[in-house]
Amino acid sequence: METPTLEPLELFAGKIGDGEQLFFKFKDNAGREVALRYDQTVPTCRVVAEYAQILPMPFRRYQIQPAFRAEKPQKGRYREFVQCDADIFGESSYLADAEVIGLSLEIYRKLGFKNACVSVNDRELLVGIPYEAIVSIDKLDKIGEMGVIREMIEKGIERDQAIKFFKQVRDLKPNEKINNIFAYLKETGFDSSWYKFEPTLSRSFSYSTGPIWEVKIEGFGNGSVLGGERYDDLVSKIAGVEIPGTGFGLGFDRTLEACLQFGLVPEFSTVSKVLVCLMSGEYFINGLQIMKALREVDIVTEIYPSKEVKIDKQLKYANKKGIPYVVIIGGDEVQAKKISLKNMKTGEQETLFIQDAIKKLKAK
């Protein structure tokens, strides 16, 4: 699924919570207040509500698009970033939460991480804690216990009450729903090192209503790489249609940074395997035909894009780019209906029919 980059500001306003200060918002040419896509959950809820009568429920969707936030740019935080979402709509069972939490972990397992862990809490355990306190408690990893209490006091919460709220949250125990989710994760192949109950995890989104979770990678210092929650009231709040939802957003940029840090990015070669070189520009059409024949059998090939450049410069270009083979076409090759194939590493050069050259290149 994809949603527009620009949405009416009213779609996001009042749905996000503390993060609304990070909206990129302005008036369009018609004077309407609009905002760049802050997240993908809210716009998707609008689409799901619009097509609720024709979508099969439960409805699973994924979405990969840029999101925009007026952050102070720093490592791990960008004003434009790629977010990858996966959600299930139309099912209120904890099994839907367990499925997307399991998917959250499976992504990082497939990427090769051995040290990823999902922290899980349930917003239902936080009933009675004011939203302002929840937002502060969610910053515990960043500002510490005293910082959390200080921030609550700055928001107008009495000191004794702030301490009470913090201790109340810190002492929470997992409920049956969380234990059932952990049992699901165990049955799907994740040992206990992959998941844990974290009572101080709060998630600052005001639309969270049930299980909430974040994935962090041990040794990666840029915070969580994925966050998710259940949001049973959000579709109703946007469009008046009762459709429960649960899902997560994965930060592609942070995940890539973590992959780079732990050496999990495979080396992809974008270098062509063959460069077609011409002894003279008059053989350019012959070169195009050879390039086409090689590409048709999935041999990555390019032709030097000039008719005037001398052969020695073309060969130097192949060496500079690290292209392992060159095909040389001149008058003798055209007359014999053959090509000269040169191994740029060994210097070995042979004159071959194109089919024999293909076999040789395929064998390498």
Position 163 in a domain: yes
Calculate the dihedral angle through the C-alpha atoms of 273, 277, 283, 288, rounding to the nearest 10 degrees. Answer: 20
137 and 71 fall within a common domain: yes
Look at residue 187 and tell me if it is in a domain: yes
Nearest to 169 by CA among 151, 154, 196, 148: 148
- Ramachandran bin of 71, using left for φ above 0, alpha for ψ from -120 to 50, beta for the remaining angles: beta
Distance CA 336, CA 328 (A): 13
Q: Under a CB-based contact definition with an 8 Å cutoff, are residues 64 and 82 in contact?
A: yes
Question: What is the per-residue pLDDT for 270?
Answer: 66
Residue 302: pLDDT band (50, 70, 90) is: very high
Pair 141, 213 in one domain: yes
Whose tokens are 């959250």? That residue is 104
- Checking DSSP bridges between strand 245-251 and strand 226-230, what pairing results, if any? antiparallel
Q: Annotated binding residue at 349?
A: no
237 and 307 part of one domain = no
Tell whether residue 40 is among the known ligand binding residues.
yes
CA distances from 139 to 14, 155, 275, 328 (A): 21, 14, 55, 64
Is the pLDDT higher at 13 or at 181?
A: 181
- With a pLDDT cut of 70, the percent of the chain lying above it is 97
What confidence score (pLDDT) does residue 268 get?
Answer: 67
**Mapping DSSP to helix (H, G, I), strand (E, B) and coil, where does residue 315 land?**
helix
* Percent over 90 (pLDDT), the chain: 69
CA–CA separation, 363 vs 61, rounded Å?
42
Tell me phi and psi for residue 259, to 5 degrees: -60, -40
Domain assignment of residue 266, yes or no: no
Alpha helices in 93-139 (DSSP H): 94-111, 131-137
Q: Where does the pLDDT of residue 275 fall: very low under 50, low under 70, confident under 90, or very high at 90 and above?
A: very high
Q: Is residue 249 domain-shared with residue 358, that is, in the same domain?
A: no
**Same domain for 280 and 256:** no
- CATH number of the domain that 288 lies in? 3.40.50.800
Domain's final residue, options 232, 261, 290: 261
Higher pLDDT pick, 142 / 149: 149
The per-residue pLDDT for 132 is 85
**Over residues 109-115, mean pLDDT:** 94
Whether residue 359 lies inside any domain: the answer is yes
Q: Specify the CATH number for the domain of residue 209.
A: 3.30.930.10
pLDDT in tens, 51-82: 999 999 999 999 999 999 887 877 777 888 89
The response to whether 46 counts as a known ligand-binding position is no
Report yes or no on 85 lying in a domain.
Answer: yes
- Ligand-binding site membership of 41 (annotated): yes
Burial category of 164 from C-beta neighbours within 10 Å (exposed 0-12, middle 13-18, buried 19 and up): middle
Same domain? For 153 and 84 the reply is yes
Domain boundary among the residues 231, 261, 291 is at 261
Structural tokens at position 187: 């049955």
Averaged pLDDT, 338-356: 95
pLDDT digits (tens, 9 = 90+) for 147-156: 989 999 999 9
Tens of pLDDT, residue by residue over 318-343, are 999 999 999 999 999 999 999 999 99
In a domain, 243, yes or no: yes
Q: Are residues 244 and 188 in the same domain?
A: yes
CB within 8 A of 152, min separation 6: which ones? 132, 133, 136, 161, 162, 165, 166
Nearest by Cα to 258 from 293, 300, 227, 218: 218
**Phi-psi sector, 240: left (phi>0), alpha (psi -120 to 50), beta:** left
Give domain status of residue 157, yes or no: yes
Mean pLDDT, to the nearest integer, of 353-358? 95
Quote the domain boundaries for residue 318.
Answer: 274-363
Q: Per the annotation, does 246 bind a ligand?
A: no
Contact 116, 105 (CB under 8 A): yes
How many structural domains comprise the chain? 2
CB 178 within 8 A of CB 120: yes
Query: 268 in a domain, yes or no?
Result: no
Quote the strand ranges of the chain, DSSP E. Answer: 6-8, 25-27, 33-36, 59-68, 80-89, 116-122, 195-197, 211-217, 226-230, 245-251, 274-278, 301-303, 325-329, 339-343, 349-352
**Three-state DSSP class for 168?**
helix
pLDDT digits (tens, 9 = 90+) for 187-232: 999 999 999 999 989 876 778 899 999 999 999 988 899 999 999 9
- Same domain as 323, residue 185: no
Residues 223 and 325 in one domain: no
pLDDT recorded at residue 230: 96
Cis check: omega of the bond before 58, within 30 degrees of 0? yes
Query: In terms of domains, do 97 and 238 share one?
Result: yes
DSSP of 174-237: --HHHHHHHHHHHHTT--GGGEEE-TT---SBTT--SEEEEEEETT--S--SEEEEE-TTHHHH
Q: Is 83 labelled as part of a ligand binding site?
A: yes
**Which has the higher per-residue pLDDT, 145 or 95?**
95
Which of 261, 283, 306 is the C-terminal boundary of a domain? 261
pLDDT in tens, 239-267: 889 999 999 999 999 999 999 999 998 77
Contact criterion met (CB below 8 Å) for 165 and 137: yes
- Same domain? For 199 and 279 the reply is no
Give mean pLDDT, residues 144-163: 91
Question: Which candidate, 145, 20, 226, places its Cα nearest to that of 137?
Answer: 145
Question: Do residue 87 and residue 14 come from a single domain?
Answer: yes
